[in-house]
Amino acid sequence: MGSILKSSSLARALLASVALSASVLLAGCDTDQVSLATNAKANQPVPPKLVAAMAEKDMDLQSPILVRLFKQEAELEVWKQTRSGQFALLKTYPICRWSGDLGPKVREGDRQAPEGFYSINPSQMNPQSAYYLSFNTGYPNAFDKALGRTGSQLMVHGDCSSRGCYAMTDEQIAEIYSLGRESFFGGQKAFQLQAYPFKMTPVNMAKHRTNPNMAFWKMIKEGYDHFEVTRQEPRVDFCEKKYVFDAAKPADAKRDPVFDASAKCPAYVIPEDIASAVREKEERDQAEYNKLVSKGTPVARMNTGIDGGMNKIFASKIPEGSTGLSEGAEGSTLQMLAMSKAPGTIPGTVNPPKPNFEPTAAQEPVVAVAAPAATTRVAAATPAATAPAAAAPAEKSSGGGFFSGIARKMGMGTADTTATTSPPQATASAAPATTSTTPATATSRLKAAVTRFVPGHDKDKPVAAAKPAEPAKPTETKVAATRPALKPSVSNASADAGSSGQMSGAAPVVSSNSFDSRFGAVK
């Protein structure tokens, strides 16, 4: 059986390359376009260990997926549809870095990672990312635009560096990318991305009950609840500047309702089986919330000045690492985590969360929209409606010229808006006042550790000038070609020898400038 799967996988990959190469020859023999068909990073097969997990959970390799992100927990979940038609959790990936605060993105440059419901179609997948691999979240969606929110090129990518993005390790994004790719080959037109400040439990809602974003969070919690009770991807629509989930036409209507994020809501209903299940869950959650508040559950601190978060497994690997706004671990717990294996390679230039004294961060807090009416239900627009052309992925390159022109032809832009790996220009130090204000590097952290823990070392004595901080690695020169062609899978399983360097999937159909023209499948 294994040999049959290997042969089938290799055949599909070869057909994909041949078909795309043939189309390129007809277009004028552009070798840069041919290279997209054999992009080693984008074509890595789903690791055998993950394929085995799918089999155990009654999932097909190319069945639809759904992704959920949680800032406070610093986790990315990949759900996959089982043969029963419902979604089940396939794997949870710790997030290496996210930036900003808990709350939605409001404006370009606010460092906020998006929150809400987004649709990821094939054109948003970027195999030529300057951050190993990436896909565009699709921010802003119709709801964000209706509120006048701005921002662009908000990605989920590798390299563990974020400025408004969700950053994974290279090994992690390779797996996630391959899962999305296979779902498209299986016929899924777009997969849903749900981004939350935290898991929408009564405990977390009680802890953050005074947060100005609570009205917005209650609104997207309704979509969270729809998924929790149905284990189906909720349909998402927008009207009156709010989300509407799983909307359907009334029994006497002749056509489906038409939604406009800025217009009055059309007549619609929520299917009774879904509505009643969601209502029961909301009542249970509210009762538990009321108990927690009456018991005096402490309110989470706000306006901490911390820029984003990091999963504790990564924070434990970095000198003076911090989880920031993510759920942390202290003392012996972090020390024990330091002994465990990290899920991927952590770049030496990564910056853990730290206080941010930028004026915009201190003076312009994120404010939520008004709470929706109690009868509001929420739903998801079709992929075409929720994936605006402005959200097409774009990445930084080393400059213009021939390859950049080809990249644009292939549906890619020129810059990935994310954090550089250099430290912020102004940061707060957790060290005593005598500590140098030079941005922390591996060298300065080591010296700080020596100052505190080496016997006989007098921290009050003047010390020699520290070696100047290593210059920031320019983002514009960090192109995919300079990175290793392939990273080991985080599943710690060897790649299928029969399909190494080639994706398993059907032959492509060359169409528009999108993922389909590079990796589309022939049905």
DSSP code for 481: G
d(CA 296, CA 159): 41
d(CA 77, CA 93): 6
Contacts of 518 (CB under 8 A, 6+ apart): 20, 36, 37, 42, 127, 410, 508
Contacts of 243 (CB under 8 A, 6+ apart): 116, 117, 143, 219, 220, 222, 223, 236, 237, 372, 376, 378, 379
What beta strand segments (E) does 71-112 contain?
75-81, 87-94, 97-98
The residue to which tokens 């921010």 are assigned: 139
Residue 108: HSE in the Cβ half-sphere, 13 Å Cα cutoff: 7
- Find the catalytic residue in 96, 157, 160, 265: 157
d(CA 118, CA 138): 6
Four-point Cα dihedral 240, 244, 250, 253, nearest 10: 60
d(CA 465, CA 461): 12
Residues forming a β-bridge with 478: none
DSSP string, 227-245: HHHH-SPPPEEEETTEEEE
Helix (H, G, I), strand (E, B) or coil at 506: coil
Four-point Cα dihedral 25, 27, 32, 34, nearest 10: -40
Q: Is 157 a catalytic residue?
A: yes
d(CA 457, CA 450): 7
- Find the catalytic residue in 96, 160, 165, 239: 165
Q: Which long-range contacts (CB under 8 A, 24 or more apart) does 290-299 make?
A: 292/202, 292/203, 292/206, 293/206, 293/209, 297/203, 297/206, 297/207, 298/207, 299/207, 299/208, 299/209, 299/210
d(CA 181, CA 45): 10
**Contact status, residue 102 vs residue 205, Cβ threshold 8 Å:** no
Q: Is 208 a catalytic residue?
A: no
Q: Do strands 191-196 and 65-70 pair parallel, antiparallel, or not at all (unpaired)?
A: parallel
d(CA 7, CA 15): 12
The residue to which tokens 């959790």 are assigned: 89
> Which is nearest to 138 in space by CA: 127, 125, 128?
125
What positions carry a catalytic annotation?
157, 165
